Amino acid sequence: MKTAITCGDVNGIGPELILKALNKIDSNKHSIFFIIPKNVLEFYSEIVPIQFSYKFVETNTVQTSGGIFIFPLEHTRLELGVPTAESGRTSFQSIKQALELFDKGIIESIVTAPISKKSFEKVGINFPGHTELLADHFGEKNFGMFFAGGEFNTALLTIHVPLKQVSNLITYEKLDEFIQLSLSTLKKDFGIASPKIALLGLNPHAGENGVISDEEENIFKPVIQKYISKGVEGPFVPDAFFGLKLYKKYDLIIGCYHDQVLIPFKMMNFSSGVNFTAGLPVVRTSPDHGTAFDIAGKGIADERSFLAAFNLAETIVSNRNLNNQ
């Protein structure tokens, strides 16, 4: 696999995670382009001694023999544990460099370390996260934030929006497009020939047949009926769904808003969960956690989720290549 790894917010745990992960990855099987300021690499190599060979590259040259290559960004000031405009700028530059590598056909995937929305805000970058930034770059309108884990996989119908906006954002057309995306993603990227999808209700008790609210009756059920023959079921009452462990029966759980599914997901998959952006030309994965500013630079960050993100990217690249044969 040819992949770019972005440094994330350098004042968080991203660089530490990456060095720990690269120490465990067989670089002979991959061409890995790690995008990070040289001074940041040097600083974190004192915390995580580098056990892999690497070369600095100044030009976007395709490497076919495998190995780890460092794209050095301009020098940046470190302030561990603090989101700053400078760290926001650096993390953004790392992502833009990775996208340039993809646009030139040099890489197939991007594995991103966590960024800080506050750092982005400080430097005037108006994206709430990777998902929206990447979708904007490719001009994609029908994209999704998916999470893959050992216990279950999930996807978010709405992403980084206030709860008071969620109901207005869920329309028949939006749900219809998202289910199409989910079915395509499970088949093409996850290699599941006949996927089963569960859709959770928006309201308590999934609206109680319209008594509490009518989104389930007027939007959810008509869309589900359209796709029921393709393995889509619901809308399920969320608390009972997880309490009865019904998630074990499905390949994907679609939640209506962020915390509805990410609370149970992270309770069960926190050290192994992976964030995947569906619907993009590039394969993009990341660990399912944030910058963890509180433990930055302490050498105690857990790299397992980052390793899982790298491995999932490799799997999805392989599945896409098989589909294109």
**Contact call for residues 207 and 216 (beta carbons, < 8 A):** yes
Res 311: pLDDT: 97
Across the chain, which distance is largest between two alpha carbons, in Å?
Answer: 64
Res 307: pLDDT: 97
Q: What are 208-238's pLDDT values in tens digits?
A: 788 788 899 999 999 999 999 999 999 999 9
Query: Across the strands, what pairs with 278?
Result: 144
CATH 3.40.718.10 segments of the chain:
1-141+280-325, 150-271
Q: What are 61-80's pLDDT values in tens digits?
A: 666 678 999 999 999 999 99
- How far apart, in whole angstroms, are the C-alpha atoms of residue 245 and residue 268? 12
CATH topology of domain 1-141+280-325: Isopropylmalate Dehydrogenase (3.40.718)
Alpha helices in the chain (DSSP H): 14-22, 38-45, 85-103, 117-122, 130-138, 163-169, 172-188, 215, 221-227, 238-243, 258-269, 304-323
**Contact call for residues 79 and 40 (beta carbons, < 8 A):** no
Nearest-CA neighbor of 159 among 140, 176, 146, 177? 146
Angstrom distances, CA of residue 95 to CA of 6, 82, 321? 6, 20, 24
Res 212: pLDDT: 86
Res 271: pLDDT: 83
Quickly count: other Cβ atoms within 10 Å of residue 19's Cβ: 22
- How far apart, in whole angstroms, are the C-alpha atoms of residue 33 and residue 309? 15
Res 325: pLDDT: 58
Residue type, 71: F
Domain 150-271 has CATH 3.40.718.10: yes
Positions in the chain whose pLDDT score sits under 70: 59-64, 325
Pairing of strands 154-156, 144-148: antiparallel
**Contact call for residues 186 and 192 (beta carbons, < 8 A):** yes
- How far apart, in whole angstroms, are the C-alpha atoms of residue 28 and residue 67? 5
